[in-house]
Chain A
Amino acid sequence: MPLLSVTGLVAGYGGITAIKGIDLTVDQGEIVTLIGSNGAGKSTTLRTISGLVRARNGRVEFLSKPIEKLAPHKIVALGMSHVPEGRGIFHRLTVLENLYMGAFQRGDGEIADDLGKVISLFPRLRERLKQAGGTLSGGEQQMLAIGRAMMARPKLLLLDEPSMGLSPILVQTIFETIQSIRRQGATILLVEQNAAMALEVADRAYVIESGVITLSGRGAELAGNDSVRRAYLGEG
């Protein structure tokens, strides 16, 4: 039984249908990546799964429950965390408040422990806890966004373009973090334009073009596929 299973998902904005029948699954403990060019429907797929965009057709099952009609906060409560494109940091809230926002749905007594874990994973955030989120650099904001998502103790983490706008060294760090999060038992659905990096860390991958899945397979397999190499890995 997959952790997340998406069947025939259709969604869009206004007269535009951005995704036209997406099928994908994510199993417990996997890193699955969704790659594709700009405007292919990657972000819309994630936004529909997490409830920000209403599905027009199709099913989304998470932990075997249909969630395509649930409000976003109810989906968060089930254990899904979505780090949106642009990171979604609250600029006027402090770093610490941002981290607490991540644990918004939790009522248990271990929030403080998890806060300690996140800070030890991202020591850069420690000295900035009282600072407003908007004052952080791009890389720090990405760390905060991932750390904040982990505060929810998610069963499934959706990451939208974590490498966007970051220097190559920072991209390296972020991807190392993603792998270490997985080692701690998290399941990740990763959307990336940086296909090379994404295919390197992913167990499985899907290629999306104009709102349709055109290819899928093991990460290494796709990295070796000729058309993928031409279209997404910038090789002739």
Chain B
Amino acid sequence: MRSLRASWGRVQEQTWERIPSRLRPIVWFLIAFSVVFINRFDDTWMRMFFLVGLYATLGMGLNVVVGMAGLLDLGFVAFFATGAYTVAIFGSPVSPHDAHLNYWVLVPLAIGLGALIGVLLGLPVLPLRGDYLAIVTLGFGEIIRILALNMNDYTRGSSGLFEIRKPDLGFMVIEDVRAFYVMILVAALAVWFVTSRIRDSRVGRAWEAIREDEDVAAAMGINTTRYKLMAFATGAAVGAIGGAIYAPFIDFVAPQSFSLQVSINVLAIVIIGGMGNTTGVIAGSLILIGVPELLQFQETADFLQKFAWLRDVLNPVIHGFNTVTFLNLPDLPQPEDWGKKLALYRFVVFGLLMVIVMVLRPMGIFPSKRRELEFENPPEAELAASQGVG
């Protein structure tokens, strides 16, 4: 037991040294970027950067649940919606229940409500096997949308809530997309700081033990239900923060914004970026959110014009193929539409990537060193299981 504890200490030391130094350049880059280059980009670009930051934040929240504690949450949108609706219901003049409260009062309320709903949802299912959590959260993510749609007295249904009061800093009001970008950046850094501190604490080690083998963790005296609940509530609170920032930014909170797609986006970022690892989540958000947005830009369309010749080459091939087979494939679209078409297929790609990553690179495209080590030297229990019929 003593040697086990000693080796735990070593792992902890190493990660303490390694992870911040790995992340530091990114942090500096983001801060430098936001200060120096922020005025070089137009609003479309800044909107993209805001969304990347938002999803990176949400990803860090879900990462606590999926990556650190190993619980599959398929309804993360529920907590995002909780945060957005809290700020909108109590902070918009069009809301039937406007509380005339300052935005900064509503944010902690949103976080608290998010965590509370996380606990209420997790309480019945977390003592059970992890698979049940997946299906219950999947259902709940959809239920929250149905509730938002039907509880007209609070949410105004599909008409939605708008004119949401902006965050007021005293010396300035956050209205401009640049200001919102800086705000999400600050939130992301705060979330990163808090979650990485928790991960390297006793709680984080308990999560890791639960993730690797719940039965063993329970046998070691870890109250698994309590720690799972903590992970779930932490993730939910971060989701609510994202929602609370998104609501005044987009200034329209309606059920159609809170579909399954949001949950899938966040999950794909965590999985494809690399479970349990903040760098991966940021990279995942850049690729999975940034690239599809980028593809829809006018600049992209202009650039793709240069490839018009490709259409002249490939269309005869398609025609030839159509005459040989019974298929009736359409012509290639205009080159300026390629970007938009590709962006439309993003979920097809996400789904495929999730399978490919699981099968070929289960630690994600950007694995953390620590998880990589685990996968190279899996615990004996797993190897023993893999000796069965293959």
Contact = CB atoms under 8 A, between A and B. Distances in A.
Interface of A: 13-16, 52-54, 71-72
A13 B382 CA distance: 9
A13 B384 contact: yes
Contact of A52 (B382, B383, B388): B388
Contacts of B378: 14
A103 to B, nearest CB: 21
Nearest to B379: A14
Contacts of A71: 389
Nearest to B384: A13
A13 B380 contact: yes
A54 B387 contact: yes
B327 interface: no
A72 B389 contact: yes
Given A13-B387, A52-B388, A54-B387, 19 more contacts: A13-B380, A13-B383, A13-B384, A14-B378, A14-B379, A14-B380, A14-B381, A14-B382, A14-B383, A14-B384, A14-B387, A15-B380, A15-B383, A16-B380, A52-B389, A53-B387, A54-B390, A71-B389, A72-B389
Contacts of A72: 389
10 contacts: A13-B383, A14-B380, A14-B383, A15-B383, A16-B380, A52-B388, A53-B387, A54-B387, A71-B389, A72-B389
Contacts of B388: 52
Contacts of A53: 387
A52 B384 CA distance: 11
Interface in B6-21: none
A52 B382 CA distance: 16
Contacts of A14: 378-384, 387
A52 B378 CA distance: 21
Interface string B355-380: 00000000000000000000000111
A52 B381 CA distance: 16
A13 B380 CA distance: 7
Q: Which of A14, A53, A54 has the most CB of B within 10 A?
A: A14
Contacts of A52: 388-389
Contacts of A16: 380
A73 B388 CA distance: 13
A80 to B, nearest CB: 16
A54 B184 CA distance: 53
A15 B384 CA distance: 9
Contacts of A13: 380, 383-384, 387
B299 to A, nearest CB: 53
Interface in B271-290: none
A54 B378 CA distance: 18
B205 to A, nearest CB: 22
A41 B389 CA distance: 19
A18 to B, nearest CB: 10
**9 tightest CB-CB pairs across the interface, nearest first?**
A14-B383, A14-B380, A13-B384, A14-B384, A53-B387, A15-B380, A13-B387, A54-B387, A13-B383
Contacts of B382: 14
A228 B314 CA distance: 81
A54 B381 CA distance: 16
Contacts of A54: 387, 390
A186 B49 CA distance: 75
Interface string B129-142: 00000000000000
A14 B383 CA distance: 5
Nearest to A13: B384
B374 to A, nearest CB: 14
A168 B29 CA distance: 77
Nearest to B388: A52
